[in-house]
Amino acid sequence: MSMTEQRSTSALLYLSGVTVSFDGFKALNNLSLLVEPGEMRAIIGPNGAGKTTMMDVVTGKTRPDEGEVVFDGKADLTKLDEADIATLGIGRKFQKPTVFENHTVRDNLLLALAGLRSWYKLLLAAPTKAENNRLDEILSIIRMEPQQHMLAARLSHGQKQWLEIGMLLAQDPKLLLVDEPVAGMTDVETETTAQVLREINKTHSVVVVEHDMSFVRALGVKVTVLHEGSMLAEGTLDQVSADPRVVEVYLGR
Ligand SMILES: Nc1ncnc2c1ncn2[C@@H]1O[C@H](COP(=O)(O)OP(=O)(O)OP(=O)(O)O)[C@@H](O)[C@H]1O
Ligand SMILES: [Mg+2]
């Protein structure tokens, strides 16, 4: 087995030489990225760097023109569709919350836990003991026990984001992809979101894209800087912030 094969099989997520072109413009340009099992990775980079496109490639929404994308050491994600990739255990939270407004927080989590196809059954049968225990756990992780019986429509923007993170967690993916979770949040909500993701990272691997540097600092994890579709720098937030090339792309905006 070559060194490259060893790296791709021990990683949870392995991207190598990934290129995505839109009418000749390279949104991703020979991007390589490796996330270890159990890791939480923060991805930063200026607008248009390719962060969301990277998540689109991992979830099968966008097919790369070139490159390898391997999940859990075996699945070639470039050959699978979005539904298959979700089934493998990659869950994604988009920026805009998509909770069910006319249901309570707890019922939203129950629907996510049981799978949306079971909606009809859920209306007829009470949750099991195991389901209720898991709901209590998730409510505790997202810090929403006090709001569990509120209609989702009445939640603040930040609370809706946490509920959606909880709904993602309910599906128990091996890897959670979270794109700009703290956009539009207050400073206090941002700090809480960092704590929630750190708690989730005790049991799940996470890749989180964010512009908010105080949030990234609070995560305290390895940071990857994307720029023009490629990896520009990687390391602690202090290391990458001190990298002249990173300073250049942020100041040069
Ligand atoms: N479907 C598409 N068709 C054409 N161009 C696209 C498409 N999707 C993304 N792009 C372009 O690819 C580049 C990377 O976009 P992407 O959304 O991945 O950046 P990003 O790093 O997530 O930026 P932001 O921080 O603003 O969310 C941008 O220049 C964008 O305009
Ligand atoms: Mg984006």
Alpha carbon distance 111, 113 (integer Å): 5
What is the structure's pLDDT at 114? 79
The pLDDT of residue 124 is above 80: no
The residues, any chain, with a CB within 8 Å of residue 73's CB and separated by 6 or more, are 8, 9, 10, 11, 12, 14
Residue at token pair 């809706």:
160
Measured from the Cα of 22, ligand 1's closest atom is 4
The pLDDT of residue 94 is above 90: no
Average pLDDT for 112-127: 73
Q: Could you tell me which of 3, 8, 6, 4 has the C-alpha nearest to residue 69?
A: 8
What is the structure's pLDDT at 5? 64
What is the structure's pLDDT at 9? 76
pLDDT band at 118 (very low <50, low <70, confident <90, very high): low
Looking at 90-99, 172-181, 228-237, which range is the least confident one?
90-99
What proportion of the chain, given as a percentage, has pLDDT over 70? 92
Q: What is the pLDDT of residues 159-201, one digit of tens each?
A: 999 999 999 999 999 999 999 999 999 999 999 999 999 999 9
Q: Could you tell me which of 245, 237, 188, 230 has the C-alpha nearest to residue 210?
A: 237
Alpha carbon distance 178, 209 (integer Å): 6
Average pLDDT for 205-225: 97
Substitution site in 28, 29, 47 for ligand 1 pocket (most atoms within 8 Å of beta carbon): 47
Average pLDDT for 53-70: 97
What proportion of the chain, given as a percentage, has pLDDT over 90? 83
Average pLDDT for 218-243: 97
Q: What is the pLDDT of residues 64-73, one digit of tens each?
A: 999 999 999 9
Measured from the Cα of 28, ligand 1's closest atom is 14
The pLDDT of residue 252 is above 90: no
Substitution site in 26, 33, 52 for ligand 1 pocket (most atoms within 8 Å of beta carbon): 52
What is the structure's pLDDT at 127? 84
Residues 234/223, Cβ–Cβ less than 8 Å: yes
What does the domain layout of the chain look like in residue ranges? 13-251
Q: Give Cα 243 to chain centroid, integer Å.
A: 26
Alpha carbon distance 14, 35 (integer Å): 7
What is the structure's pLDDT at 72? 95
Domain 13-251 fold is Rossmann fold (3.40.50)
Structure tokens given for 226: 């994307």
What mean pLDDT, rounded, does the chain reach? 92
Beta strands in 3-63 (DSSP E): 13-22, 25-35, 40-44
Residues 32/18, Cβ–Cβ less than 8 Å: yes
φ, ψ of residue 249 in degrees (nearest 5)? -70, -30
Residue nearest to atom 29 of ligand 1 (CA): 48
pLDDT band at 119 (very low <50, low <70, confident <90, very high): low
Residue at token pair 């991805």:
43
Residues 35/207, Cβ–Cβ less than 8 Å: yes
What is the structure's pLDDT at 211? 92
Measured from the Cα of 180, ligand 1's closest atom is 27
Residue at token pair 């890791």:
39
Other beta carbons less than 10 A from residue 168's beta carbon: 20
Task: Name the pTM for this structure.
Answer: 0.93
Alpha carbon distance 214, 161 (integer Å): 18
Alpha carbon distance 213, 229 (integer Å): 20
What is the structure's pLDDT at 241? 94
The pLDDT of residue 98 is above 90: no
Q: What is the pLDDT of residues 1-10, one digit of tens each?
A: 566 666 777 8
Q: What is the dihedral of CA 171, 142, 71, 130, to 10 degrees?
A: -40
Residue nearest to atom 19 of ligand 1 (CA): 48
What is the structure's pLDDT at 250? 85
Alpha carbon distance 179, 200 (integer Å): 15
More confident residue, 45 or 6: 45
Other beta carbons less than 10 A from residue 50's beta carbon: 25
